[in-house]
Homo-oligomer: A and B are copies of this chain.
Amino acid sequence: MSEIRQDLSSKDWTIFATERSRRPSDFKKTKEKKFSNEYEKKCPFCKGNEDMTPKEILSIKSGRNWSVRVVPNKYPALKPKKDYGRSIGRHIEGPYLSIDGVGSHEVIIESPKHNEDLYNMKLSQIENVIKAYRKRFITLSCKGNCQLIVIFRNHGGRAGTSLNHPHSQLAAIPFVPGFVRNKLYESERYFNNSGRCVYCDIMKYEIKAGERIICDNKDFIAFAPYASLSPYSVQIFPKEHQACFSEISEGNTKYLASILGTILKKLYYVLDDPDYNYVIDSAPVGQKGNRHYHWHLEIFPRLSTRAGFEIGSGININTVLPEKCAKSLRDYNV
């Protein structure tokens, strides 16, 4: 009999079908290792090729050289409006509505070196990446049209990467989609009933239970969520209540960098460099400081394929219990 678990924050369900389960090693791919150099002539993100990207938005220095660069995405899904006012073009066609694709779509180039990656970077380099996230998040939060900022990273072909040079992306969106609104709504209901943040309660319980915890440090904790959507997905939460990613302090960034690097290193070795996505799930910019949401970073290794059942029902089938995932990641020392 499989087990169907409810996510306490979204109230959505995940089916755990462990009879369909596979051992961690079964997820391993037999892919070719990429032996690339520090510099690749055709890579627009490599040091020395700065003129191949659109005009730089931000650069974090390390000594005389850049350590992290932020540039506009060359093929943006959303583009800034020159006059960045609050109004966005709205268009009616029969019963339908559309709006102009106003917003931002940026690339965070995480290193001058082509052959580095977050799992093997120096802590100070990862910290610079987080600092760039934070700066862009805070700056874009002030734009009139921006309602939600999504920071995400695609690693490997199954996760949708088109360029190997280490990078993440940021999108500033002019509305709050239903998917996010639903999570806000459920966490607000929980707050109304209990007077507490549902995510703070989850963390408190997870620390007590222990079996889904992977690791923690002064400011952050990482665990496999009770109703995790897919095998080996991991959530990283700030221990202090913070609704919006912009509430992370400059001093906190080091601790986020440290736990993120640790988790990615564990995943790299336990699952043999899995393709993955991670996203920073934050309250909308207009809800900074709210009492009921709690930003977090969630990593989704791409080990299974979303098929017709998931598309039709919105329910995920997960073949690995989070307790098992947490144990194998916790036990692997990096």
Contact = CB atoms under 8 A, between A and B. Distances in A.
Interface residues of A, number: 77
Interface string A64-79: 0000000000011111
A97 B313 CA distance: 20
A123 interface: no
Contacts of A278: 308
B98 A3 contact: yes
Interface stretch (A9-17, A31-39, A130-138, A263-271): A9-17
A34 to B, nearest CB: 19
Contact of A312 (B76, B208, B279): B279
A279 B311 contact: yes
Interface in A148-167: 148, 150-154, 157-161
Nearest to A4: B99
Interface in A92-146: 93-102
18 contacts: A3-B91, A3-B101, A6-B99, A8-B97, A20-B77, A93-B226, A94-B205, A94-B209, A95-B205, A158-B305, A159-B307, A178-B182, A179-B313, A179-B314, A182-B182, A277-B311, A279-B308, A279-B311
- 5 A-B pairs with least C-beta separation: A179-B314, A152-B308, A160-B307, A2-B101, A279-B312
